[in-house]
Amino acid sequence: MYTKEYSYQDCQFVLLGRPTAGVLGIKYKGKGDRKYIWATGRKPITYVDGQEEYEGEVTLLQSEFEAIVRSLLPGGTITTLPPFDIVVMYVPNTANPVIVKDIIKGVLLTDWEKAGKSGDTNMEITLPFKAADVQLNAK
């Protein structure tokens, strides 16, 4: 039996509290500080888990970026926005879809850059971020 795999066309996004169609790409990851501990002998005897870190980037159409800029308080910048969540939903177009919802919590945008060149048909702006948490398959 064949099943339909998730694809980018199945993605839906909520950014800064509103559904956003102008997301051209997203990537996010987590990593944990995990270490072995050595004592006597040549091999570790146990391990510890330390802090977890989350980061990623979201690529937007320039019109979405400009909408964010317009929403800023006077004197505010993209990199001083208060923490916000990004909701990523994978909703496959099937009869009985299994919807996957990830919530990227406490997003802090770290930098931005506008760039373009001859022949571009649209402007894309990639916003790197750090996050406080990522809830995979959130309810």
Give the DSSP letter string of 49-94. Answer: EEEEEEEEEEEEEHHHHHHHHHHSPTT--GGGPPPEEEEEEE--SS
Statement: residue 123 has pLDDT above 90 = yes
> For residue 92, what pLDDT is reported?
84
CA angle 12/81/25 to nearest 5° reads 30
pTM score, whole prediction: 0.89
Residues 129 and 88: their CA atoms lie apart, in Å, by 15
Residues 69, 27, 54, 36: what is their CA dihedral angle, to the nearest 10 degrees? -160
> For residue 1, what pLDDT is reported?
63
Q: Which domains does the chain have, with CATH numbers?
A: 8-135 (2.30.110.20)
**Per the structure block, which two tokens stand in for 80?**
């001083």
**More confident: 37 or 97:** 37
